[in-house]
Amino acid sequence: MSYATGPDSFSLVVVVVVAVWYLYDYYSEDPPEPDTLEHAQMLYEQGEISLCEFERRVDVYEDPEAARIRSTVEQINGIDTSTSFTVAEHYDTLRELQDADTDDLENIHGIGPARSESISKRLRRQ
């Protein structure tokens, strides 16, 4: 009767399968949703945005008033999360946004005359 001194084939296959599964699971995570704190963190860690830009985004994400502005503006047809984020960066309060005229809004990147009018009209009703 002889005894093998190394691992048997089955054990080796199991170890390799588990290792491959672990690596697949580790590298196949879904990327974070755009315009979230996690997304900004990922962009900063990958060197795609500066520390200054990362801090600016964190301020907008964590500010409750900015969240109010974004949720109000996102309800307007044709306004996406990226545009609402940009609007929230320009105004400190919802009242300040409500007091803005269409010319002020059009100075924001991505806001043209049609979007400016839609935002103004929506905020006058509140």
pLDDT in tens, 101-117: 999 999 998 899 999 99
What domains, with CATH codes, occur in the chain? 37-124 (1.10.150.20)
Which one-letter amino acid corresponds to residue 122? R
Residues of the chain with pLDDT under 50: none
CA nearest to 39, candidates 90, 91, 81, 78 = 81
Alpha carbon distance 7, 4 (integer Å):
8
For the entire predicted model, the pTM comes to 0.62
Q: Please, are residues 100 and 115 in contact by the beta-carbon 8 Å criterion? A: no
What are the two backbone dihedrals, phi and then psi, of residue 54, each rounded to the nearest 5 degrees? Answer: -60, -45
